[in-house]
Structure formats: structure tokens, C-alpha cells
Amino acid sequence: MGSYTYQHFPYRTPDELASARRARRPVAIVGAGPVGLSAAIDLAQQGVPCVVLDDNDSVSDGSRAICWAKRTLEIFDRLGVAERMIAKGVTWRVGRIYHGDRELYQFDLLPEGGHKMPAFINLQQYYVEQYLVERAGEFPELIELRWKNRVTAVENLDEGVRITVRTPDGEYPLECDWLIAADGARSSVRAMRGHRFAGQTFEDKFLIVDVRMEATYPSDRRFWFQPSFDPGESVLIHRQPDNVFRIDIQLGRDADPAVERDAARAMQRVRRVVGPQVPCELEWCSVYTFRCARMARFIDGHVIFAGDAAHVVSPFGARGGNGGIQDVDNLCWKLARVLRDEAPARLLASYEIERGRAADENITNSRRTTAFMSPGSTVERQFRDAVLELAADFPFARGLVNSGRLSQPCDYAGLPGIGPEVLNGAMKAGRPCSDAPVIRPDGTPGWLLEQLGAVPCALVFVEDEAQAARAEADGADCGIRGLNVITVGARATRATGLSDPQGLVRSRYGGAAGVTYLIRPDQHVLARWPHCDPRAWRTAWDAYGRYDEGRASP
């Protein structure tokens, strides 16, 4: 008996089959995993209705993606699910690296305070999906989840997509303006559209085990190269909720998956890791090899690929699930604007370019980690072992020890439409906004990121009441639809302003009086200026909205 009880969601005969109703949908989403469900919620929060089609009727079988990074949690917070995930999840921020029995070093992923979200939580994918399904249920008018609906054909129309869906009651056709393919690494939509998924497969086999046990292990991520307790090349342990532990054991190239997958054999290895005495129970185990691959383009006519359907990586940087949620964050506000006729469809090319850069970054990091973990030739192994041996005495070598470069959000700096960028300081155009504590207009404490997102925002640093009033009035007249002008000062100057008594917003944003940030609905900085000039905001926003790939940053 596992620690998690799977519910089966009810299949209902779709309207198209029950009453022959044939309504065209603005958006259909294939796949009710973390990516597809997040997309549905993000669109619903912006008033866009969608239908989600999934060939199964339950959540993820097995814990699968377990490490959720800070940026992803910030997105989940915008979607209204992060607080529940954090309450259930195991929060961590420290990784410990061992060589044999010796601890080489630790890394701290969030050494500073003043952020609402932690560096990481571990939470099984089935909980993430369950919470997203329940959140989607809060939008009954906008989100329709259709379980046991398998897409069997996809055809691009001039201005939309026609799909064929198979259900227990038979097949039906469905037309939509846009189709989001979030159907995972073995995407059937990708296969049906005949797209290549080019990349690199790694030869090493990994045994991945979830065990339930009463253990006093820390929440830290612990990674051993050449552990003394197991003949494997490496061992990684993560703590999950419900006293479940994820243990990844690197078996090497020659291991036989059919042999290693055996539960009794897997438990023998777990015993070597956890010791002979601790009572523990096997929840799930599997043997994997990993690959890094991506589609050349993520958009095919009106079919948009996201998450693992578009790109996959090995798991040692937690860059798969996190990358997928960050795809959604980038895509959905743009899709909503295109559907409302506020932007041309070519704005979506920015999704492909920006998230293409993210996929490339994730693949590069994943490839380097995998190469370090499984050296191929004698000389590669000599270098790898030299790094591990030097790392005990030489800090520089610790920087080369690579057990996973953990998920960082992509910086879109320098890509088309991003900018202008004329200021010094870390919060450059293209970066995701940093969080900081604020006092809200009603005097209660809150967080900066809670104020940003969903709509375009101008974040204006002010010194006094008059500056705040002018920024608000100018912003209202500047012509960016839905623009939210947020002023920040040492003390609240107006009923709508934020105050920053700890000074962290001003220090993280270089917020001298007048400095203004134009922030996209996905909480990335679009542009920033030393002075408050709403005409410049309009110019930058319109330029991005028209999205011309050939146009360099201003």
C-alpha cells in the first residue's frame, strides 16, 4: 500500500457526443500534467476558456518530478496553488556533495532572506497535479477537464486546429483557435505532426527508487560520487513528504535494466544506502536512461508545444518540470492577448525564441552534468577523478564538481524586443523580477511579487507624494491597456503605493527616485529607465507587442 491514494476523475460524455454540439474553442490543451493544468489555470485567470484533454483519468503514476524551484513556486503562487504546495512539501536550500565518505562541500541556493518563496521544495508530482486539478475546479465556467479523451489526429487549419478525440463513447472532432501540446516527453501530438526530436541519449542506467521509512535524514539534497556504501557510480537522496525518500543510484553503462528493476534486488541496494536496521518499504522503482533533446521550433501553425513535449533533459538539475512551468508562464499572457486581438499572432514567436533559449540553457547544463557524472574515456575519468580529489583541498575544484546545476530561471536579456537597458545593477531587462518584502497600501505586510504579474506593471520608485501622484496619472494616460502603476517609496505616499521600510526593494532594484521598471505579466522586466517617462513605456510595450524578430533591441 503506497503512501498516496490515487483518485480517478470521472469521465463524462463530451457535449460533442452527447448532443452533437460543435462549439469551436479558443484553446484546447493536450495533457493534464503539471504543464497542461498550469496553462489552463493561467488562461482562466485571464478570462480565456479552454478544454483540457487527457488520455488517462488520474494523476502522475509515481512521484516523477519532485523538485520545484523558487521561480516555479512564484508562478504557482500567481496561479493560487503555491501556499498549499509549500505547506505539504519539504523545503530545502542546501546541497551536500560527498566523494566516498568525505563531504567535499555544501552549496546554499538561497543565502539571503526577504523572499516569499523558498529555494526549493520537494513534492511528488501526483500532489502537484492533484492541487492543480482542484484549483482548475475553481473555474467551472472556463476550464473543462476531459479525462479519457485521447487525441488521435491533429490537422492545422488556416486559422486554427482541428483534432480528432477518442473517448469510451466514440470519436468526435474538435476545432480550436490554438492547441497547446503538453503531452509529455513521448508527445503523441509531436509524433502525429511528424516533428523530429533531436538530441543525445546517455548510456548510463539509473535505478530510481521511492522508499517510505522513518528516518532522521535532513531535508538537504545529498549527492555521493563513488559512495563507499554502494558499488554504483553515484547516489542521490532527496526527502519528500510522507516520509518518502527518492534514491537515485547510478548503475553504470553495462547494467541490465530487466535485472535491476527487480524489486527485491532494488531493496538490497536501498539497504546498502539506508543501513540494515531502518524499517523501510518500497513504494516505486524503475530503471532509466536519460536524454537531452528539443524540437527545432516550438510552434507549428496553431499548434504550440510546451514542457517535455518540446524539450527534455536529464533530471540532475531539476530542469524538466521547472522548465515546463516557466514555458507556461511565458506563453499564456501572450496567447490571451492574441486571442483578445490586443497583439498580432507573431507575438507568439517571442515564446519560441525566449523559451528556446531556456531549453538550450537547460540542455547545456544537463549535458555537462551528465558528462561529469559518467565519464566516457580513460582521460575523461582521469580529469573527473582529479577534480574530485583536488576538491577536498582546493576550493576552485569544488566549482568544477558537477552533480547538477539546479534550475535557474532564464534571462531573456538581449533577445528581440527586450529593453531598452541603460542602467547598471542586477535587475536587468529580461530578468525575472526579484522578490522583496513590502508594506501594502492597507498597512499590512506582503511581498512585491504578489503585486506584480497578470497584467503589465510599471514599478516606479518615488520620493514623495507629488511624484507618486504624477506617475499614477501619467501611467493612466499612457495608453497601455490594463497597465498597473505601482509606486514604491520609503513610506507609503498614497493609498495605492507600496512602502519599503527595510529598503530591500530599493536595494535589489537600484531604486533611486524616478527609476521605473516596465514589467511583463510573467514578472520579467521588459525595460527600465532612470526617469519616469510614460511615453517610453508605451514605446517599449508596443514594440514588444508588435514583435518583429528582425528588430534589434532599442
State the minimum distance, in angstroms, from the CB of residue 364 to another protein.
8
- Nearer to another protein by Cβ, of 345 and 371: the residue is 371
- Work out how close the CB of 164 gets to another protein at its nearest, in angstroms, rounded to a whole number: 45
Is 390 a binder of another protein (CB under 8 A)? yes
Contact 370, 202 (CB under 8 A): yes
Query: Can residue 413 be called a binding residue for another protein (CB under 8 A)?
Result: no
Burial of 505 (0-12, 13-18, 19+ CB in 10 A): buried
Member of 387, 448, 462, 532 binding another protein (CB under 8 A)? 387
Residue holding cell 524540437? 295
**Residue 405, interface with another protein (CB under 8 A)?**
yes
Least Cβ distance, residue 527 to another protein (angstroms)? 25
Judged by CB under 8 A, does residue 379 bind another protein? Answer: yes
Q: Which stretch binds another protein (CB under 8 A): 61-69, 99-107, 169-177, 376-384?
A: 376-384
CA dist list (Å): 315 to 64, 89, 370, 372: 10, 19, 10, 14
Whether the CB-CB separation of 461 and 528 falls below 8 Å is answered with no
Three-state SS at 451: helix
* Cβ within 8 Å of residue 246, ≥6 positions away: 63, 66, 122, 208, 209, 210, 236, 237, 238, 239, 240
Is residue 497 a contact partner of residue 404, using CB atoms and an 8 Å limit? no
Q: Is 109 in the site for another protein (CB under 8 A)?
A: no
Q: Is 389 in the site for another protein (CB under 8 A)?
A: yes
442 is a contact residue toward another protein (CB under 8 A): no
Binding-residue total with another protein (CB under 8 A): 23
The rounded distance, in Å, linking the Cα atoms of 242 and 283 is: 11
Name the β-bridge partners of 300.
Answer: 303
Nearer to another protein, 387 or 527 (CB): 387
Strand-strand pairing, 303-305 and 170-181: parallel
Looking at this protein, which amino acid is placed at residue 472? E
Among 38, 72, 402, 408, binds another protein (CB under 8 A): 402
H or E stretch at 210 = strand 205-213
Between residues 397 and 469, which has the closer beta carbon with respect to another protein? 397
Site residues (CB under 8 A) for another protein, limited to 344-373: 365, 367-368, 371-372
- Residue number with CB closer to another protein (258 or 379): 379
Looking at the Cβ atoms of 266 and 401, the one nearer to another protein is 401
Q: Does 428 bind another protein (CB under 8 A)?
A: no
378 counts as binding another protein under rule CB under 8 A: yes
Q: Note whether 12 binds another protein by CB under 8 A.
A: no
| Residue 400 touches another protein, criterion: CB under 8 A | yes
Closest to another protein by CB, 68 or 372: 372
Residue of the chain from 5, 216, 277, 377 that contacts another protein (CB under 8 A): 377
| Contact status: 6 vs another protein (CB under 8 A) | no
**Position 257, amino acid:** P
Q: Which is nearer to another protein, 150 or 357 (CB)?
A: 357
Write the DSSP symbol of residue 410: P
DSSP H or E stretch at residue 36: helix 34-45
Residue 197 three-state SS: coil
Contacts of 334 (CB under 8 A, 6+ apart): 343, 347, 348, 350, 351
Q: Taking the complex as a whole, how short is the minimal distance between the CB of residue 490 and another protein, in angstroms?
A: 34
Dihedral angle of Cα 27, 32, 34, 38, to the nearest 10 degrees: 30
Per CB under 8 A, which of residues 227..286 are in contact with another protein?
none
Assess 149 for contact with another protein (CB under 8 A). Answer: no
CB closer to another protein, 428 vs 470? 428
- Nearest-approach distance from CB 381 to another protein, in angstroms: 10
Instruction: For residues 380 and 519, give the distance between their C-alpha atoms in angstroms, rounded to a whole number.
Output: 45
Q: Segment near another protein (CB under 8 A), from 9-17, 398-406, 484-492, 493-501?
A: 398-406
Closest C-alpha among 199, 194, 197, 221 to residue 90: 221
Smaller CB distance to another protein: residue 97 or 335? 97
Could you give the CA distance from residue 385 to residue 275 in angstroms, rounded to a whole number?
Answer: 27
Site membership for another protein, residue 113 (CB under 8 A): no
Nearer to another protein, 377 or 444 (CB): 377
Residue number, 386 or 422, with CB nearest to another protein:
386
Closer residue to another protein, CB minimum distance, 271 or 368: 368
Q: Does 399 bind another protein (CB under 8 A)?
A: yes
From 103, 152, 186, 383, residue interacting with another protein (rule: CB under 8 A): 383
- Cα–Cα distance for residue pair 17/364, rounded to 1 Å: 46
- Residue 141 near another protein by CB under 8 A: no
Q: Which of 277, 260, 156, 298 is nearest to 216 (CA)?
A: 277
Exactly one of 396, 495, 531, 552 binds another protein (CB under 8 A); that residue is 396
Binding window for another protein (CB under 8 A); candidates: 78-86, 284-292, 319-327, 393-401: 393-401
Q: Which is nearer to another protein, 400 or 513 (CB)?
A: 400
Binding test (CB under 8 A) with another protein, winner from 394, 464, 491, 503: 394
Q: Is 275 helix (H, G, I), strand (E, B) or coil?
A: coil
Phi, psi of 335 (to 5 degrees): -60, -40
Q: How far apart are the C-alpha atoms of 397 and 122, rounded to whole Å? A: 28
Residue 327 φ/ψ, nearest 5 degrees: -60, -50
What is d(CA 402, CA 417) in angstroms, rounded to the nearest whole number?
34
Per DSSP, helices labelled H in 374-511 are: 378-391, 395-400, 448-451, 465-477, 504-509
Instruction: Compare residues 405 and 494 and give the one whose CB is closer to another protein.
Output: 405
Residues lying near another protein in the complex (CB under 8 A)? 365, 367-368, 371-372, 375, 377-380, 383, 387, 389-390, 393-396, 398-400, 402, 405
